[in-house]
Amino acid sequence: MKRNRTARPVLFTATALLLSELAGGPVHAGVTPMDYDASVPCRAFQRWGYGGWTAIAPVTLNIDNGVSLSFAPGDSMAPGSTIAGVAVPIILDRHCGNL
């Protein structure tokens, strides 16, 4: 029985190409809930405690990730909380003051 000597280099080349594709693929930066932003009508929110916020008027925030979040008067957000993957209290701190 005769061995095929060309199979080994072909297998080695195919493996090297596959591994280089995995290692050289695109790098995606991690996006955290704190990375999003929106235009905020600060008059629609009131800050309480150590970073919590409550809506005092009906408002919709159009987040820059394409999500729209609507709040009714009385809707509250605790510090460090997220809504639909967005850290809304941090956005409010950024635009309306972190007193």
Q: What is the pLDDT along the chain (99 residues), one digit of tens a residue?
A: 566 565 566 556 656 555 555 455 454 456 676 778 888 999 999 999 888 999 999 999 999 888 999 999 999 999 999 999 899 999 999 999 865
Domain assignments of the chain as residue spans, ordered by start: 33-96
| Entry pTM | 0.65
Residue pLDDT, tens place only, 35-50: 788 889 999 999 998 8
Q: What is the pLDDT of residue 28?
A: 45
Bridge partner list, 48: 52
Bridge partner list, 52: 48
Query: CB-based contacts of 65: which residues, under 8 Å, 6+ apart?
Result: 36, 85, 86
How far apart, in whole angstroms, are the C-alpha atoms of residue 84 and residue 69?
Answer: 8
- Which of 55, 52, 49, 45 minimizes the C-alpha distance to 90? 52
